[in-house]
């Protein structure tokens, strides 16, 4: 996976900023000039010509306005028209990812190549160990016949000079569920029946050909054009994404127009308690193990690709679900906006009547810039609820399992293990666990789609190591789940209980 900071990511952020600026300045016509401003004639083109660069930028702008580029029917339709269309819709629906075929490089199929590091050695382990005799020696160098090669990789493993390299297709390589593949023209397409909206292909494509459909215009419309209170539900992974402490971040979010801010760790406290109780109940009933259910990409993977493991997945809702439930119980007419690191949350929100919109940290950062808000200089504003430190650590690998362990406090035989990141190999491993063809290491599996946890999500803007340190520090400065003072807000059973704020 590519690091967060690269030219494709920077361009995506610049587009979001310019679209937000155009809306805030009440000048949607300015969006028509975004491709020209980002690729002026004085700038060298990155493709065959500057006009193709601009065409790709137009499609990126469409996606940043919440449109699927595959649905374009009129190439002459202006960006300002797409922006106006975005402001008339009730919601963003359909697939959350879109492929810009014009930007796709149509990478050659994954293959092994011999580099000039080859010394033509006498041992020739690459040739000797090739199961298909696909390697011959030509002019003293090894050569691979692509017609015979089966991409087993033995030549790469055997070469003492590391002269054989594997050239992958980055987006296909990153997808854990084989949801992206080439069409007859060599362009990549996403099979949305298979896609789990994890965003790994988006992060991996070096050409920025894969985009998510942003909801930044939809949220801006709710903030500026309605009388409803707009509530930001902020994932704890926000720590480390922006300068300043949590109170300055809350102040900055309110400065761009949100009326209230609640941290999703409050909902995570409910998840912790419910998941802990469910674990104890399942173990008493004789279950071999249980898995967490917080990661929406994992939940989608279970539904579409690992149905065998579904009986072992916790029925407990995610922190976002519980938080939005609290918000809607207290303010039924408000607009709830989840702000976090995850693209798959958009799919989860479509299934949740209490969550109206989803923004990523990248979109929030663009909104800060467009609004001229400097987070580190904002007036501090306190959260109205204090969540536990354990629940504030949910975005880190081991965080969910650790929170449940703290809640159980040794009252059960609790042996957690982490599946740190969904990959093709890990999907197969989970299938083996479910069918008892592999020994499950522990009785509680915490499954995260992103390696390292949510702090590595496709909607983040900070380096994972920095975010991990900041989230850890935030956790350590917070009360334990046994010591939170807002017990009444964390006892939700999803409705019907007595005495808690969410259920009235």
The reported pLDDT for the residue numbered 485 is 45
Instruction: Give residue 504's pLDDT band: very low, low, confident or very high (50, 70, 90).
Output: very low
Which residue stretches of 310-371 are H helix? 319-330, 345-350, 361-371
Residue 295 resides in a domain = yes
203 assigned to some structural domain? yes
Residue 237 and residue 207 in one domain? no
Tell me if 478 is assigned to some domain: yes
Mean pLDDT of the chain: 92
* pLDDT value of position 494: 41
The pTM assigned to this predicted structure is 0.90
Residue 83, pLDDT above cutoff 60:
yes
Query: Do both 181 and 243 map to the same domain?
Result: no
pLDDT, tens digit, 9 for 90 and up, residues 356-411 = 999 999 999 999 999 999 999 999 998 878 899 999 999 999 999 999 999 999 98
Read off the pLDDT of each residue in 173-184 and give the average, rounded to a whole number. 93
Q: What's the distance, CA 340 to chain centroid?
A: 9
| Residue 362: domain span | 218-485
Is the same domain home to 207 and 274?
no
Residue 310 and residue 436 in one domain? yes
pLDDT at 3: 61
What pLDDT score was predicted for residue 93?
A: 83
Residue 501 has pLDDT above 60, yes or no: no
Residue 94 confidence (pLDDT)? 85
Q: Is the per-residue pLDDT at 14 higher than 50?
A: yes
* Same domain flag for 144 and 259: no
Question: Quick check: is 502 in a domain?
Answer: no
What DSSP string runs through 467-481? HHHHHHHHHHTS--T
Together in a domain, 182 and 286: no
SS3 339: strand
Please tell me whether residues 102 and 115 are part of one structural domain. Answer: no
Q: CA distances (Å), 387 to each of 31, 236, 312, 470, 484, in order? A: 41, 10, 28, 16, 7
Q: What is the structure's pLDDT at 483?
A: 56
Range of weakest confidence among 176-190, 407-421, 485-499: 485-499
Domain count, the chain: 3
Give, for 382, the enclosing helix (H) or strand (E): none
Residue 425 and residue 352 share a domain: yes
At 197, list the tokens: 């909206």
* Domain membership flag for residue 58: yes
Q: Does the residue 456 lie in any domain? A: yes
CB 326 within 8 A of CB 260: no
Q: Are residues 232 and 359 both part of a single domain?
A: yes
Residues 294 and 426 in one domain: yes
- Kindly report, residue by residue over 293-308, the tens digit of the pLDDT: 999 999 999 999 999 9
Regarding predicted confidence, which is higher, 4 or 492?
A: 4
DSSP state for residue 227 in the 8-state scheme: S
Name the H helices within 165-315.
170-174, 200-204, 216-225, 246-255, 265-284, 296-304
What pLDDT does 488 receive? 41
pLDDT in tens, 86-106: 999 988 888 999 999 999 988
* Closest by Cα among 136, 151, 335 to 233: 335
For the stretch 28-33, contacts whose Cβ atoms lie closer than 8 Å and that sit 24 or more positions apart, written own/partner, are: 28/80, 28/83, 28/84, 29/80, 30/80, 31/61, 31/65, 31/79, 31/80, 31/82, 31/83, 32/78, 32/79, 32/80
pLDDT of residue 2: 56
- Give yes or no: residues 51 and 96 share one domain: yes
Q: What is the pLDDT of residues 103-131, one digit of tens each?
A: 998 888 878 999 999 999 999 999 999 99
> Does residue 474 sit within a domain?
yes
Q: Which residue has the higher pLDDT, 42 or 315?
A: 315
What percent helix, strand, coil does the chain show, rounded to 5?
40, 15, 45
On whether both 362 and 477 belong to a single domain, the answer is: yes
Q: Is residue 118 part of a domain?
A: yes
Q: How confident is the model at residue 502 (pLDDT cuts 50, 70, 90)?
A: very low
Tokens of 327: 């918000």
151: CATH = 3.30.70.20
């Amino acid at each position: 996976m590519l690091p967060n900071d690269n030219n494709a990511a920077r361009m995506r952020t610049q587009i979001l900023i310019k679209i937000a600026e155009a809306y805030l300045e009440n000048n949607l016509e300015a969006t028509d000039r975004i491709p020209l401003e980002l690729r002026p004639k004085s700038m060298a083109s990155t493709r065959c010509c500057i006009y193709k660069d601009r065409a790709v930028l137009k499609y990126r702008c469409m996606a940043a306005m919440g449109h699927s580029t595959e649905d374009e029917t009129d190439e002459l339709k202006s960006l300002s028209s797409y922006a106006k269309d975005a402001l008339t819709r009730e919601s963003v629906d359909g697939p959350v990812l879109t492929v810009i075929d014009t930007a796709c490089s149509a990478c050659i199929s994954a293959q092994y190549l011999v580099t000039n590091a080859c010394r033509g050695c006498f041992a020739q382990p690459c040739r000797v160990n090739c199961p298909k005799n696909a390697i011959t020696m030509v002019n003293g160098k090894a050569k691979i016949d692509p017609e015979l090669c089966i991409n087993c990789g033995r030549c790469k493993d055997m070469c003492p000079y590391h002269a054989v390299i594997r050239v992958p297709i980055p987006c296909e390589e990153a997808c854990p569920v084989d949801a992206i593949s080439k069409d007859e023209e060599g362009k990549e397409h996403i099979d949305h029946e298979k896609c789990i909206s994890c965003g790994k292909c988006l992060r991996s494509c070096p050409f920025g050909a894969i985009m998510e459909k942003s909801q930044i215009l939809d949220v801006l419309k709710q903030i500026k054009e309605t009388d409803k209170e707009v509530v930001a539900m902020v994932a704890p992974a926000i720590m480390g994404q922006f300068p300043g402490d949590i109170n300055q971040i809350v102040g900055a979010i309110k400065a761009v127009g949100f009326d209230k801010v609640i941290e999703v760790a409050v909902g995570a406290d409910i998840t912790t308690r419910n998941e802990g109780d469910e674990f104890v109940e399942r173990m008493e009933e004789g279950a071999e193990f249980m898995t967490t259910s917080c990661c929406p990409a994992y939940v989608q993977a279970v539904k579409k690709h690992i149905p065998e493991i579904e009986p072992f997945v916790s029925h407990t809702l995610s922190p976002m679900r519980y938080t939005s439930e609290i918000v809607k119980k207290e303010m039924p007419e408000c607009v709830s906006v989840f702000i976090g690191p995850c693209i798959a949350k958009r799919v989860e929100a479509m299934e949740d009547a209490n969550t109206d919109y989803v923004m990523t940290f990248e979109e929030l950062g663009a909104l800060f810039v467009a609004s001229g808000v400097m987070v580190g200089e904002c007036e501090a504003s306190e959260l109205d609820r204090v969540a536990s430190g354990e629940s504030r650590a949910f975005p880190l690998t081991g965080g969910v399992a650790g929170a449940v362990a703290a809640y159980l406090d040794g009252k059960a035989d609790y042996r957690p293990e982490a599946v740190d990141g969904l990959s093709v190999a890990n999907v197969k491993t989970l299938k083996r666990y479910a069918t008892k063809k592999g020994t499950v290491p522990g009785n509680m599996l915490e499954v995260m789609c992103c390696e390292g946890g949510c702090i590595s999500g496709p909607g983040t803007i900070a380096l994972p190591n920095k975010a991990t340190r900041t989230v850890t520090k935030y956790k350590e400065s917070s009360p334990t789940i046994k010591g939170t003072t807002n017990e009444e807000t964390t006892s939700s059973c999803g409705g019907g209980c007595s005495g808690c704020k969410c259920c009235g």
